[in-house]
Amino acid sequence: MTTRTAAPEERDPNRLTRWGTTWRVAAALLIGGVLWLLTTAVVFPEADSDPALLPGLWLVVVDPILGLVALGLLLLRRRWPVRIAVATTALTAVSAAAVGPQTVVLASLATRQRWREIIPVGVLTTAGGLVLTRFFYPDPEPLPLLFEAGFSILATGIVVAVGYSIGSRRALVRSWVDRARTAEAEQRARVEQAQSTERTRIAREMHDVLAHRISLVTMHSGVLAYRDDLPEAERRDAVAAIDSNARAALTDLREVLGVLRDPEGHGSLRPQSTLTDLPELVDGATSAGTRVTVETGGLDAAAVPETISRTAYRVAQEGLTNARKHAPGATVEITLAGRPGGELHIGVRNPRTVGVAPDVPTSGLGLLGLAERVELSGGRMQHGWVGEDEHRLRVWLPWPP
């Protein structure tokens, strides 16, 4: 599976590139420079004019220095947004060159979309502009105070609106990125769940198939170990059964491991057995010495839907395997009944054995896996001893019409 690597901007929509920082600094210098030149035209209306010493000296020397200080503070606005905004706004009250950096800082503050920060700084910005034009660099022919205040409020509002819209766009992009990350995480979770489900299915198949084969091998080998008086023909049959079942077990195991080792996950298990294969299953159990009777009640195994037919086959297989393990020599009865639109009933029962059960390794997961398989099929299962003499395994599976 190919995993897409997100770009840096996608990982963090608020992250600035070098170009983003460069054009902001350039915009601050441009705005500050233009306002400084306009202020110079007000202080020095004519080339040969001789303004007051303090305003002229302040404008030519101190004002640009304060503008550079504000420009330096501009670079720190993301670390301390409110503090930097207040500091640069205070500088605009005494420096025309600082207005450029303060404009960028105010827009940056507005991108946070927090009116409790924007409104106080906006009021300070308006007040700072009036102080600068009315007291530090007064115009010989000033405009009305209300006009200047209105113009300052309008300019501040435009800057705040631009910053707020940028913040809205960033929030939108951030929501898109979060959705993309969530979708990718959900996709990874679905893939992992699918892999886990497939491995569980393979493990279930391994148990169902191998447990049946190994139980047959154990049964035949037990007969050879405890029966010294077997006729030669029966001994050969037992050895042949051990050989065939061992080879079949190795083949099944090789198929299962082939699926597990498939790096692309394209491998699949061979078609699973259904109720149409029940006679073969019964013949194998009978050859191992287990007496098996099957009562189908006229049920046509080929008419049973494949999904529930596979589950029903596993029920019969698990019942026979457990009977051989825990009740050797007992007669196993398998019953089948059902109809379309109702339920398919599978029952496996056997009496308690009077002999000694062979020491066969068990996983303890057979009935647990079978219960899970039945539940996934929408059915229900019961198993256990009825009284002290008979063990029953009963399963009901829904049979669609």
Whether residue 200 is contained in a domain is answered as no
Cα 100 from Cα 131, distance rounded (Å) = 16
Q: Which residue has the tokens 């539940």?
A: 375
Q: How far is CA 176 from CA 170, 183, 255, 285, 391, in A?
A: 10, 10, 45, 61, 59
Average pLDDT of the residues in 186-205: 72
Average pLDDT of the residues in 190-216: 68
Mean pLDDT computed over every residue of the chain: 78
Whether residue 348 is contained in a domain is answered as yes
Total length of the chain: 401
Q: For the ranges 98-107, 222-231, 238-247, 272-281, which has the lowest average pLDDT?
A: 222-231
Residue 107 C-alpha from the chain's centroid: 37
178 and 30 inside one domain = yes
The pLDDT of residue 346: 93
Q: What is the CATH number of the domain that holds 350?
A: 3.30.565.10
Write down which residue in 145, 165, 186 finishes a domain: 186
Torsion of CA 152, 155, 160, 162, to 10 degrees: 180
Q: CB-based contacts of 1: which residues, under 8 Å, 6+ apart? A: 191
Whether residue 236 is contained in a domain is answered as no
Whether residue 247 is contained in a domain is answered as no
Query: Is 316 in contact with 278 (CB distance < 8 Å)?
Result: yes
Q: How many CB atoms lie within 10 A of CB 228?
A: 6
pLDDT in tens, 272-321: 688 888 898 888 888 777 889 999 888 888 888 887 888 888 899 888 88
299 and 155 inside one domain = no
Pairing of strands 343-351, 380-386: unpaired
296 and 167 inside one domain = no
Is the pLDDT higher at 380 or at 243? Answer: 380
The pLDDT of residue 244: 73
pLDDT in tens, 368-394: 778 877 887 889 999 888 877 888 899
pTM over 0.95: no
The backbone torsions φ and ψ at residue 100, rounded to the nearest 5 degrees and listed phi first, read -60, -55
166 and 307 inside one domain = no
Structure tokens at 24: 């902001």
DSSP conformational letter for 80: S
Cα 176 from Cα 354, distance rounded (Å) = 70
Whether residue 218 is contained in a domain is answered as no
Structure tokens at 134: 């009315």
Which amino acid is present at 269? L
Cα 132 from Cα 129, distance rounded (Å) = 5
164 and 299 inside one domain = no
Report residue 5's pLDDT band, with 50, 70 and 90 as the boundaries. Answer: very low
35 and 164 inside one domain = yes
Structure tokens at 126: 């308006």
pLDDT tops 70 at residue 53: no
Pairing of strands 292-295, 332-338: parallel
Report residue 45's pLDDT band, with 50, 70 and 90 as the boundaries. Answer: low
The pLDDT of residue 367: 77
Q: Across the chain, how many H-helices and E-strands are there?
A: 12, 5
286 and 151 inside one domain = no
Beta strands in 36-106, from DSSP E residues, in sequence order: none
22 and 144 inside one domain = yes
The pLDDT of residue 395: 93
Cα 329 from Cα 56, distance rounded (Å) = 117
H helix or E strand, kind and range, residue 346? strand 343-351
180 and 283 inside one domain = no
What is the extent of the structural domain holding 46? 8-186
For the range 17-24, what are the long-range contacts, defined as Cβ-Cβ under 8 Å and sequence gap of 24 or more?
Answer: 21/75, 24/74, 24/104
Report residue 6's pLDDT band, with 50, 70 and 90 as the boundaries. Answer: very low
12 and 129 inside one domain = yes
Is the pLDDT higher at 243 or at 83? Answer: 83
Whether residue 223 is contained in a domain is answered as no
pLDDT tops 70 at residue 363: no
Write down which residue in 186, 218, 243 finishes a domain: 186
Structure tokens at 49: 């004019």
The backbone torsions φ and ψ at residue 351, rounded to the nearest 5 degrees and listed phi first, read -75, 165
42 and 168 inside one domain = yes
pLDDT in tens, 258-280: 655 555 555 555 556 888 888 98
Q: How far apart are the first and last CA of the chain?
A: 40
Whether residue 235 is contained in a domain is answered as no
Average pLDDT of the residues in 52-59: 68
42 and 172 inside one domain = yes
Cα 20 from Cα 250, distance rounded (Å) = 65
Write down which residue in 145, 162, 186 finishes a domain: 186
Average pLDDT of the residues in 347-355: 80
As for how many domains the chain has, the answer is: 2
Residue 272 C-alpha from the chain's centroid: 32
> DSSP per residue over 252-306, as a string?
HHHHHHHHHH-TTS---PPPPP-GGGHHHHHHHHHHTT--EEEE-TT--GGGS-H
Which amino acid is present at 265? G
pLDDT tops 70 at residue 227: no
What is the SS3 assignment for 190?
A: helix
Query: Is 362 in contact with 368 (CB distance < 8 Å)?
Result: no
pLDDT in tens, 57-93: 778 888 888 888 988 888 888 888 889 889 988 888 8
Q: For the ranges 47-56, 128-137, 159-168, 188-197, which has the lowest average pLDDT?
A: 47-56
Whether residue 194 is contained in a domain is answered as no
The pLDDT of residue 7: 43
